[in-house]
Amino acid sequence: AQKITQTQPGMFVQEKEAVTLDCTYDTSDQSYGLFWYKQPSSGEMIFLIYQGSYDEQNATEGRYSLNFQKARKSANLVISASQLGDSAMYFCAMRGGGRRALTFGSGTRLQVQP
């Protein structure tokens, strides 16, 4: 079974500062993918970044980077230079073991303060 754990229900960050959102996962699969999604108040799920289990380099997408530590089974999202528009729920998710659906963590609500 796969499990995603996000231990931070809520986070505050000052505008223009960096913030790290934690995500740990549990799986016995060798091949899997890790995802981060942003969900603003409108409800839409916005894909941010992907990391494959065999990827040796940490994924980066603009201001988003994924700090992938395979041995520790962690996949933290780092947002640099936070903006007010980054305020939203953030979900970590994984897919693997031949299962095509995503398993989501409980989410972290990020609030960026001016």
Partner 1 sequence: GAVVSQHPSRVICKSGTSVKIECRSLDFQATTMFWYRQFPKKSLMLMATSNEGSKATYEQGVEKDKFLINHASLTLSTLTVTSAHPEDSSFYICSAIRWTGMSSYNEQFFGPGTRLTVL
**Is residue 84 classed as helix, strand or coil in its secondary structure?**
helix
CB 112 within 8 A of CB 16: no
Least distance from partner 1 to the Cβ atom of residue 1, Å: 11
Q: What are phi and psi of 18, to 5 degrees?
A: -90, 155
Least distance from partner 1 to the Cβ atom of residue 44, Å: 5
Q: x/- contact string, 93-112, with partner 1 (CB under 8 A)?
A: --x----xxxxxxxx-----
Does 56 interact with partner 1 (rule: CB under 8 A)?
A: no
User: In this complex, which beta carbon is closest to partner 1, that of residue 101 or of residue 114?
Assistant: 101
> Residues with Cβ < 8 Å from 27, sequence gap 6 or more?
2, 3, 73, 94, 96, 97
Token readout for 61 is 């997408």
CB 43 within 8 A of CB 37: no
Does 50 interact with partner 1 (rule: CB under 8 A)?
A: yes
Least distance from partner 1 to the Cβ atom of residue 42, Å: 7
Does 33 interact with partner 1 (rule: CB under 8 A)?
A: yes
Catalog residues that contact partner 1 under the rule CB under 8 A.
31-33, 35, 37, 42-45, 47, 50, 52-54, 91, 95, 100-107
